[in-house]
Amino acid sequence: MGFFDRLWRNVIFISAALRTLRRLRNNTPNSTFTTADYIREWAAQRPNHVAIYFENRTVTYKEWDNAANRYARWAVDHGVKKGDVVALLMENRPEFLFAWVGLARIGAISALINTNLHSQTLAHCLITAKPKHLILGAECAENYISAAAHVNFHLPVWVEGGALDGARDLSSEISAQSSDSLPYSIAGGFTAKETCFYIFTSGTTGRPKAARLTHYRVINIMNAFSAAAGAKSSDRIYIAMPLYHSAGGVAGLGTTLTVGGSIIIRRQFSVAAFWDDCVDYEATMFQYIGEICRYLLNYPQTTSERRHKIRVCVGNGLRPDIWQDFKERFRIPKILEFYGATEGNVLLFNFDGKPGAIGRVPGFLRQRYRFALVKFDVEAELPIRDENGFCIEADIGEVGECLGEINEQPRSTFEGYSSEDQTQDKKLTHVFKPGDAWFSTGDLMTKDKGGYFYFVDRVGDTFRWKGENVSTSEVSEVLTVFDGVKEANVYGVHIPHTDGRAGMAALVVEDGFDLAAFYEYISTELPSFSQPLFLRLQTEIHVTETFKQRKVDLVKQGFDPSRIADPLYFLHLQKSGYVPMDDTLFKQICAGAFRF
């Protein structure tokens, strides 16, 4: 990085950082301004401005404010008060936003429930949240029916937009309520340090946990994203991500909500409708997850993909192997990549758009950002400690786990989960000095001399084979560059009588995929220890509702053809290529007939 290039990047960083700090300076835990007050504020200042675009509906800020008041009054009528929890199970639509804003106005907590959950997993979330009521979108009735028998407490159910045996009609109750503001004695007297949401983790490595988000934290996240994107009141952000998750429902929503702009919401992401929606609703921004970008690139070209008015897209997980292709094909002026977690206390932005980086902190500001990368033992899945028991900072270019310092500064707090035990499990102590505490992100990263940070893998995804660490994300990037590979999900599987885990890749490929050429490609592009020993060809890669790849079930199924209907292949080095896996070959591998 030359002098002038570094200067230019520093100017961009400082400008964006100052813009963000100005937006956050009035937000304190003791402030009486809460998340719901944004709606009241804009309803008074620009009542007729369209706040929400949804299908063929528009909702102004005044209409949103009125609807939220009705939900607040309904909740009060049914005994909901400050600190009580109400669960919200509903697809993306305006009523979702009306409900949580109304609940927030009386100090209640909205537990935002994943609309793709069923049976015992859904029941687990409801039991964890302990709500006094459940607001149920009629479109999610089957989800609730599958879980009802597993819920071990009485839970009144209110259905919006339909009917369900044993549930009450929320729509008629809401319409009967007054839209007038509630008196201060009911809708006042609480501060930003009160809990606004329980947002559940994606559950990729276990059952979902309920992360606690206060109004203070929600407002900080919303304003940080809005300032980073340079949002204006004329902006419209397109959100196809679920509103029950912090990416869509807090960061995406807040990007324009905090400046009185507009949001465009879609029930569910559709690759076919994405660019048409952006054009039809005149979106100026959209929110992405890396896998969405890959889906869009794999989709045939459309006439609308370059006719949009997008000026910036905001998201995370856009991998370097497709970054430039995505930017150029779809004519995206600016990509704003970030790093953060719903419950975490580390937030990074890549303000200047360096491909592949998740964020940057210039060296002269490093001490002001209280997080660190520490050396990490992949096999033990623990930070490496020195002879005094302290963690060791990772060197430039070395992979380390990202930790965020927990201290008394409001922006460095860790608000944790609904369970105190789960909260303590994410804390590391005695990190750099006696008595300190740091949040364990569970994310492995590297940093370069320019202050840029790069995501490597989740702890537990990186594995060791032949004495070397294998990064699943880095191998995936190499595999997807090969012509014919549309998607790749890489993970490690155990082979009896061997140490570590061998690489396996689930691939989605095009017709005519050349397996022999693929072997030649990985032989030159990947070191031997990183080359997938097993391949599994799937019609689609299974992902979470926030488009994170699922690996747990794949790891459990391993490479056993009796458990897997998909085509399986084994890297047979003696035959210089991949060969089909059958029961005989499986038994030979497990019996130790091959040396690895």
Alpha helix (H) ranges present in 359-460?
420-425
How would you write the pLDDT of the chain (596 residues) with one tens digit per residue? 677 888 898 899 999 889 988 888 889 999 999 999 999 999 999 999 999 999 999 999 999 999 999 999 999 999 999 999 999 999 999 999 999 999 999 999 999 999 988 888 899 999 999 999 999 999 999 999 999 999 999 999 999 999 999 999 999 999 999 999 999 888 888 999 999 999 998 654 557 889 999 999 999 999 999 999 999 999 999 999 999 999 999 999 999 999 999 999 999 999 999 999 999 999 999 999 888 998 899 899 999 999 999 999 999 989 888 999 999 999 999 999 999 988 889 999 999 999 999 999 998 888 888 899 999 988 788 999 999 999 999 999 999 999 999 987 877 788 888 888 888 989 999 999 999 999 999 999 999 999 999 998 888 788 888 777 788 888 998 999 999 999 999 999 999 888 788 999 999 999 999 999 999 999 988 888 889 999 999 999 887 766 777 887 898 899 999 999 999 999 998 899 999 999 999 999 999 888 88
> Is the CB of residue 75 less than 8 Å from the CB of residue 163?
no
In the chain the domains, ranked by start, together with CATH numbers, are 31-343 (3.40.50.12780), 370-458 (2.30.38.10), 464-590 (3.30.300.30)
- Distance, in Å, from the CA atom of 363 to the CA atom of 380, rounded to the nearest integer, reads 31
Tokens of 251: 């960061």
- Distance, in Å, from the CA atom of 450 to the CA atom of 15, rounded to the nearest integer, reads 18
| Secondary structure (H, E, C), 428-453 | EECCCCCCCEEEEEEEEEEECCCCEE
Q: Residues 6 or more apart from 216 whose CB is under 8 A from it? A: 27, 28, 29, 31, 192, 193, 410
Residues in a beta bridge with 349: 338
- Distance, in Å, from the CA atom of 460 to the CA atom of 180, rounded to the nearest integer, reads 52
- Distance, in Å, from the CA atom of 137 to the CA atom of 163, rounded to the nearest integer, reads 10
Q: Residues 6 or more apart from 113 whose CB is under 8 A from it? A: 87, 88, 89, 122, 125, 126, 129, 200, 244
**DSSP letter (8 states) at residue 383:** E
